Amino acid sequence: MDILGIDIGGTGIKGAIVDTVTGQLKSERMRILTPQPSTPEAVANTVYELVNKIGFDGPVACGFPSRVIHGVVKTAANIDKSWINVPVEELFSQRLNRPVYVANDADVAGLAELHYGAAKDVKGTVLFLTIGTGIGSCLFIDGTLCPNTELGHLKFHGDSAERYCSGAVKEREDLKWKEWGERFNEYLHYVSFLLQPDLIVLGGGASKKFEKYKEVLDIDIPVKTATMLNLAGIVGAGIYGSIRYNQESSK
């Protein structure tokens, strides 16, 4: 089936119609700047504008930069604090006058990698990490999503892990790739000890520079870079929407 997948980010809101059977886009990928301040009403209006611009009257699904539990925003580490406890699915559904399904952005990007990317056909436990302004995480066990893990916020070196080895930290402290890689390697050892994954997939901006730091990673677990790249959020949102739509249709 076709779902309009939307990737809501701090600087841009991107979307396209997704064929959830093939993982291919069935429309041009469009982008609108994220409103500032990115309050719930402003973002809902921008999502409405994007959907109208694309021209689609079916179900919509969004990846959102927060922990989303039962359709409600529960954290706001990298978004406007006014989002906390907002029923985002209800807000978007009412604004668009149709079903809208919303999940954590790292979770939907992980779904794209699981179905069509680096984690396709991998059995066991798969850990997907997105490295950017923060560190997003997504965990699968035998193909089943364990949602809202937020492993970038694990306590590490006296603070959260993403304050020690995110992409933003590399830029802020002007670290060379190998210097940053040594920090990230410590973090990988930590999460690997906790979860014992069979595969780790890296996404986000730092994954594109993997060759510059991979030699300092010495964990004994396979590490791959994501293959869906900029389309992961949109395609993964489409997959998530398809799963939710089918669940609700079968009730």
The pLDDT of residue 110 is: 97
The first and second tokens of residue 249, run together, are 């249709």
List the alpha helices (DSSP H) in the chain: 40-54, 88-96, 105-116, 162-165, 167-172, 177-195, 232-249
The pLDDT of residue 76 is: 85
The pLDDT of residue 229 is: 87
pLDDT digits (tens, 9 = 90+) for 53-88: 999 999 999 999 999 999 999 998 778 999 999 999
Rg of the chain on CA atoms, in Å: 18
25 pLDDT above the threshold of 80: yes
Q: Output the CATH code of domain 118-226.
A: 3.30.420.40
pLDDT digits (tens, 9 = 90+) for 166-199: 999 999 999 999 999 999 999 999 999 999 999 9
CA separation for the pair 168, 173 (Å, rounded): 9
CA separation for the pair 49, 29 (Å, rounded): 14
For tokens 């939307």, the residue is 6
98 pLDDT above the threshold of 80: yes
The pLDDT of residue 216 is: 98
Where do the structural domains in the chain lie, given as residue ranges?
A: 2-104, 118-226
The CATH H-level superfamily of 2-104 is ATPase, nucleotide binding domain (3.30.420.40)
The pLDDT of residue 251 is: 78
What is the chain's mean pLDDT, rounded? 96
The first and second tokens of residue 14, run together, are 């991107």
The CA–CA distances, whole Å, from 181 to 46, 62, 156, 185, 187 equal 37, 31, 16, 6, 10
Q: What is the rounded average pLDDT of the residues 95-123?
A: 97
Same fold, 2-104 and 118-226: yes
Between 175 and 11, residue with greater pLDDT: 175
Q: Is 27 left (phi over 0), alpha (psi -120 to 50) or beta?
A: beta
* Reported confidence tier of residue 32, pLDDT bands at 50, 70, 90: very high
pTM: 0.94
pLDDT digits (tens, 9 = 90+) for 38-50: 999 999 999 999 9
